[in-house]
Structure 1
Amino acid sequence: MRELVRPVATALAMACLAASMAILSTGGALAQAKQAPPKQQAAPAKQAEPPPAQEAPVKQIALTEKQIESALAAVKEMDHPINEKLPDDGKPLDPKIVAQFEAVAKKHGFASYDDYNSVVDNVSIVMAGFDPATRKYVGPEAVIKAQIAVVQADKKMPAKDKKAVLADLNAALKSPGPAIENKGNIDLVAKYYDKLAEALGEDEE
């Protein structure tokens, strides 16, 4: 699923997967945009801005096979027809679009769009720990370290791109993501890994 229709809680998980795609395609830009350095303020009396608020952690749930199958079915409708109508300028979603998301979620058995997002969030944090080459769960830290090694060994990636990718990966390594509370989720995601990777648009191919 595209990032625009997902809550920010799993930004790190999806960024790790996006980094894997970028690396394996030899140096595409990461999904995370670089923030420009803050401009110097002329007025010395201006107070410093407070640090950005921390994102709320994903509320982990025990996934079921039915939830994953429903999410796979729903994401196809969420991703294209509705997603194309989303604003790309950061503006709030039109209530009509939100209503469409709710309708699709309920059509596929979810109590609400938030319920659907909860399932996708939990799938995402598990997938962030899968090695895309072996389809085995190794943990997000191991995945990031492997990605760093691949980038460092890449002779074709432009130096500027390599520096940017390594900076993002090293930043992600400092906070690789939460431990998986429900170990059964790992087995479920492993069973549906290929379908989930394709549906979420995060497969390395």
Structure 2
Amino acid sequence: MMSILRGLRAAAVAALVCSVGLSGALAQGQSSSETSDFKQVKLDSKMVESFIAAQKDVAAFAQKNPAAQGEKPDPKIQAELDAIAKKHGFASFVDFDDVGFNITMVLSGIDKDSGKFTDPIVSIKQEIEDVTADKTIPEKEKKQILEELNESLKNTPPLQYPENVEVVKQYREKIEQVLQ
């Protein structure tokens, strides 16, 4: 049961980071069905350091503009988001958000205790097997958990750049601190 909760927590962290990052897809005015179209990028130290440095400004913006999350921003808000991203070395807020997505994707596969990375797709498949075999979970709850896990599996792309794991591991503590 603990591994189920860990897996769901990892999925929740991924969703939270993307929403705190004010989803670049939504910032561009795309519908929510298109928000899974993040671009996987090969991360380097500078990108991750810039992402970490930008979090204070992004959090301040999100606090100042709570209504801007999840809706099509007006040009003024979009310009403000782009300015934050550019201040920290990104070409646009979409680029910043793509880096955030890639970081989150790796973080969701790192075990908090061992630091070992497991591809999120492999983890989700294992969770599905564990939940299916677990006789202690009530059927109604099991059905809901399996629906959520299958939805996560369907929406989780394979990791395109395995080398991102080592880059994110190097900054894991700092990333987790700024995202709290």
TM over 0.5: yes
Q: Which one of 126, 135, 143 corresponds to residue 115 of structure 2? A: 135
Q: Comparing both structures, which one devotes a greater share of its residues to helix?
A: 2
Give the structure 2 partner of residue 82 of structure 1: 61
Cα RMSD (Å) of the superposition?
Answer: 3.4
Kept in 1: contact 2:131–2:142 (CA 8 A): no
TM-score (norm. length: structure 2): 0.67
1:162-203 deviations in whole A, cap 9, x for unaligned?
5433320133234542232x33211001111232234345xx
Give the structure 1 partner of residue 81 of structure 2: 101
Matched residue type, 1:129: G
Unaligned runs of 5+ in 2: 1-16, 27-31
Kept in 2: contact 1:130–1:143 (CA 8 A): no
Q: Which one of 150, 155, 172 corresponds to residue 170 of structure 1? A: 150
Looking at CA atoms only, which structure, 1 or 2, has the larger radius of gyration? 1
Secondary structure (helix, strand or coil) at the match of 1:192 reads helix
C-alpha displacement of 1:95: 2.4
TM-score (norm. length: structure 1): 0.60
Taking the aligned partners of 1:126 and 1:134, their CA distance within structure 2 comes to 15
Matched residue type, 1:92: K
Kept in 1: contact 2:38–2:101 (CA 8 A): yes
Give the structure 2 partner of residue 115 of structure 1: 95
Unaligned runs of 5+ in 1: 10-51
Kept in 2: contact 1:102–1:113 (CA 8 A): yes
Secondary structure (helix, strand or coil) at the match of 1:111 reads coil
C-alpha displacement of 1:90: 4.9
C-alpha displacement of 1:123: 1.6
User: Which structure is higher in RCO with an 8 Å CA cutoff and minimum separation 6?
Assistant: 1
Cα separation, partners in 2 of 1:142 and 1:8, compared to 1, 3 Å: farther
Matched residue type, 1:134: S
Percent identical across equivalent pairs? Answer: 33
